[in-house]
Amino acid sequence: MSAKPHILILAAGQGKRMHSDLPKVLHEVHFRPMIHYVLDLAKGIPHSSICLIVGHGEKEVREACSSYTGVQYFSQAEQKGTGDAVRRAEPFLSQQKGQVVILSGDVPILSRDSLDRLLSSPSADCVMMTARLKDPGAYGRVLRATDGKVTGIREYADCSEEEKKVEEVNAGIYRFEISSLLSALKRVKSHNKQGEYYLTDAVGLLTQEGKVLPCELKNPEEMTGINDRYALSQVEGWVRDQINREWMVKGVTIQNPSTVLIDHESTFGKDVVIEQGCRIVGTKVGDGAHLKQGSYIEESVIGPEATVGPYAHLRPGSKLGRKVKIGNFVELKKAEFKDGAKASHLSYIGDAEIGENSNLGCGFITCNYDGKDKHKTTIERDVFIGSDSQMVAPIKIGQGSYIASGSTVTKDVPPDSLVFARVPQKTKPGYAKKYKKNSD
Mean pLDDT, range 179-201, rounded to an integer: 88
- Supply the residues annotated as catalytic: 345
**Closest C-alpha to 393, from 363, 415, 414, 371:** 371
Per-residue pLDDT reduced to its tens digit, 358-367: 999 999 999 9
What is the percentage of the chain residues whose pLDDT exceeds 70? 99
Mean pLDDT, range 304-324, rounded to an integer: 98
User: Taking 70 as the threshold, does the pLDDT of residue 332 lie above it?
Assistant: yes
Report yes or no: 99 and 8 within 8 Å, Cβ to Cβ: no
Per-residue pLDDT reduced to its tens digit, 44-87: 999 999 999 999 999 999 999 999 999 999 999 888 899 999 99
DSSP H helical ranges for 160-228: 178-186, 199-208
Q: Which domains does the chain have, with CATH numbers?
A: 6-223 (3.90.550.10), 229-419 (2.160.10.10)
User: Taking 70 as the threshold, does the pLDDT of residue 293 lie above it?
Assistant: yes
pLDDT given at position 440: 64
| More confident position, 3 or 94 | 94
User: Taking 90 as the threshold, does the pLDDT of residue 374 lie above it?
Assistant: yes
User: Taking 90 as the threshold, does the pLDDT of residue 422 lie above it?
Assistant: no
**Closest C-alpha to 99, from 77, 75, 118:** 118
On whether the pTM is more than 0.85, the answer is yes
Per-residue pLDDT reduced to its tens digit, 375-414: 999 999 999 999 999 999 999 999 999 999 999 999 999 9
pLDDT given at position 140: 85
pLDDT given at position 2: 55
Quote the mean pLDDT of the chain.
Answer: 94
Q: Phi and psi for 226 in degrees, rounded to 5?
A: -100, 110
